[in-house]
Amino acid sequence: MKLTLKPLTVAVLIATAQFSGVAFAEATKTPVAPAAQAAPAVTKAPIAITSPADWIVYDDTIFTPVADSISIHLDAARKALDAKDNMKAATEMRAVAVELKDQAARAAKVDKTRAKSELKLAQDTSRRMDAVAGKATAAAAGIERGKINTKAELDKVIDKVARADMDRRWLVADVATWYPVSEEPQRHFGSAVEAFARKDYKAAATEIRKATGYMRLESGRVTGDARQALDRSVAELDKLAASVEKGTVKDEKSMGKDFARANHALALAHRAEAAESWARKEYDKTGYELKAAAHDLESAAGWAGAEAKAGASGAVADTEALGDKLATGATWTRDEVGRSFDALGHALNELGNRIGAKQQTAPVKPGS
């Protein structure tokens, strides 16, 4: 039997074929149901976690990971000085200046939808990074004239204040720069405990200082209470590292308390950044911030003990799951986002009370 299709039937079939296998970006909106974000046809590949191989070390106590273009060029300049290759060292320092200028310009053009505190930080960062770029250019000229021949001499030009200002570059670092190293503080805390158990106190102190190197960078990305919590934790860890190196820390338990507060501070910072990214509708960035916050919550709770870890496990799992959805473009709903922010905030506050952390989380309204 020959089948004859009417024009209306053909139109329906064509429309169905056009949309088969394609997931909508947002579910149909109705007055009673929250909007939903759904996966595109092809989801984004997740960003992998990696560990930097090199470190820039100042005064034997300040560690900066070689994790972005600025630190890569700066590390190359220092190594070239060691190799007596002044031409390459000068070239690398000029590359540092160019990168700093570029990031200063990006900081100056920060999205006007950011919070006032973030805008102020961005503008201040832009000015400071411009100033550091000038020091990098001056260092390149000094190298060429033979006035700077060693890393120690270079470090005097790029002084402590300039290095602190340079750390602010993380404010404009994209997610592909900071997320791959977001788990590094916890990894170094674990290595510090292992070294301490071997009575290798110098190695333990070094691992703690490496962790604080990442925390200083993270502090450059946030403002307000989150930044205060990070800075307070960095100060605690600096003291802890000095005590561990001297052999005056009696057991690992006291180290764990400082590590718990450090991870808690990092989780607060990532949750705050997730809220800012959400407000700007940067959903993939929101996802990565939430994933980092979940990891730090889990790590902080682990240092606090089995009961704390069990208590945080539900929020950790839910936040990681939502983070994966947002980061890769899979389906999510606004109700789900709201519940996740609330659960993460509640878990962080509960843990904060347990470990003596001072900061509490701010409420987030995903539907607004």
Looking at residue 36, what is its pLDDT? 54
For the record, the structure tokens of 298 come out as: 């889990």
Separation CA 167–CA 288 (nearest Å): 21
Separation CA 325–CA 250 (nearest Å): 44
β-bridge mates for residue 332, sequence order: 37
Contact 260, 355 (CB under 8 A): yes
If we measure between CA atoms, which residue out of 137, 135, 130 comes closest to residue 159? Answer: 135
Is the whole model's pTM more than 0.85, yes or no? yes
Angle of the 116-144 helix axis to the 86-108 helix axis, nearest 10: 160
Residue 57, helix vs strand vs coil: strand
Tokens 């700093």 correspond to 100
Q: Show pLDDT as tens, one digit a residue, over the chain (368 residues).
A: 444 444 434 343 333 333 333 333 334 343 444 455 544 445 789 999 999 989 999 999 999 999 999 999 999 999 999 999 999 999 999 999 999 999 999 988 877 667 677 788 889 999 999 999 999 999 999 999 999 999 999 999 999 999 999 998 999 999 999 999 999 999 999 999 999 999 999 999 999 999 999 999 999 999 889 999 999 999 999 999 999 999 999 999 989 999 999 999 999 999 999 999 999 999 999 999 999 999 999 999 999 999 999 999 999 999 999 999 999 999 999 999 999 999 999 999 999 999 999 888 988 887 64
Looking at residue 359, what is its pLDDT? 84
Looking at residue 35, what is its pLDDT? 53
Residues 6+ apart with CB under 8 A from 36: 26, 27, 331, 332, 333, 334
Contact 63, 213 (CB under 8 A): yes
Looking at residue 110, what is its pLDDT? 76
Q: Where are the domains of the chain?
A: 55-173, 176-355
Looking at residue 362, what is its pLDDT? 85
Backbone angles phi, psi at 37, to 5 degrees: -100, 130
For the record, the structure tokens of 317 come out as: 């799992």
Separation CA 39–CA 76 (nearest Å): 42
Separation CA 254–CA 84 (nearest Å): 45
Range list of β-strands (E), the chain: 36-37, 55-58, 62-65, 332-333
